[in-house]
Amino acid sequence: MRQCFFLSSSSLLLFFFLILQQNPSLINAVEPNLVDKTCKKCINSTVSYNFCLTSLQAVPISNYSNLPGLALIAMELGIKNCTTTISTIKKLIGSKYFDRQSLEDCLELYSDASVVLGDSIRAFLSGLYESVIRWLSGTMVAATACEDQFLVAGNPSPLTKENYSLIQLTDIAICITKLISQGLVSKPVTTLSDGRQVREI
């Protein structure tokens, strides 16, 4: 089973500093009420405006973040969701009230999702937005699959809240990443000496 990946707030702040150090122009990209404006752009049939607003604002540095910073916050919140959900699943597996096989399937799905979110953060920092969107979309599918496990088995899901929270967080991150990539379509992709591709921000 894959190991979970979680970033502390201090680690995330370090990411912001690295982004700003490499791209000083982003310092001026911070907008007033950016969280509110972003959530209004990202609401859809999946994402609730209130969920988006309260989730992002729960992280204090969101008020001082630019658009890339909000994307990182959403992904870190997704990892935190995975971490707490995995702990919940491990406790529920010992219960006789919920389907064990469904819980074990969800445990594997969430363990993989945590790793994918960590990979997505690293890809995001390299400017590989198409990969980020593709991987995050897979994370949404994983959360949906977890919920469906219980429906197929004809049992109530004890993870509905967790599943829909992860779906919304990843959808928010996808939305923000798309907003960023739409503004960078003309930016060139540079291939580094180690083979990695980095898009100029």
**Do the beta carbons of residue 68 and residue 180 sit within 8 Å?**
yes
- Cα of 109 vs its chain's centroid, Å: 15
Q: Over 80: is that where the pLDDT of 124 sits?
A: yes
pLDDT per residue over 14-28, tens digit each? Answer: 555 455 444 544 444
Closest CA to 5 of 122, 167, 89, 102: 122
Q: What local confidence, expressed as pLDDT, does residue 60 receive?
A: 86
- Can you tell me the mean pLDDT for 144-162? 94
**Do the beta carbons of residue 131 and residue 177 sit within 8 Å?**
no
- Can you tell me the mean pLDDT for 176-187? 77
pLDDT per residue over 44-59, tens digit each? Answer: 999 999 999 999 999 9
Q: Over 50: is that where the pLDDT of 151 sits?
A: yes
Q: What local confidence, expressed as pLDDT, does residue 19 receive?
A: 52
Closest CA to 165 of 77, 89, 88: 77
Which superfamily does 10-199 belong to?
Invertase/pectin methylesterase inhibitor family protein (1.20.140.40)
Residues 6+ apart with CB under 8 A from 108: 1
- Please give the residue that has the higher pLDDT: either 3 or 139: 139
Residues present in the chain in total: 201
Q: Over 80: is that where the pLDDT of 191 sits?
A: no
Return the domain boundaries, the chain: 10-199
Q: What is the 3-state secondary structure (H, E, C) of the chain?
A: CCCCCCCCHHHHHHHHHHHHHHCHHHHHHCCCCHHHHHHHHHCCCCCCHHHHHHHHHCCHHHHHCCHHHHHHHHHHHHHHHHHHHHHHHHHHHCCCCCCHHHHHHHHHHHHHHHHHHHHHHHHHHCCCHHHHHHHHHHHHHHHHHHHHHHHHHCCCCCCHHHHHHHHHHHHHHHHHHHHHHHCCCCCCEEECCCCCEEECC
Q: What's the pLDDT band for 172 if we cut at 50, 70, 90?
A: very high
What is the average pLDDT score of the chain? 83
Q: Over 50: is that where the pLDDT of 3 sits?
A: no
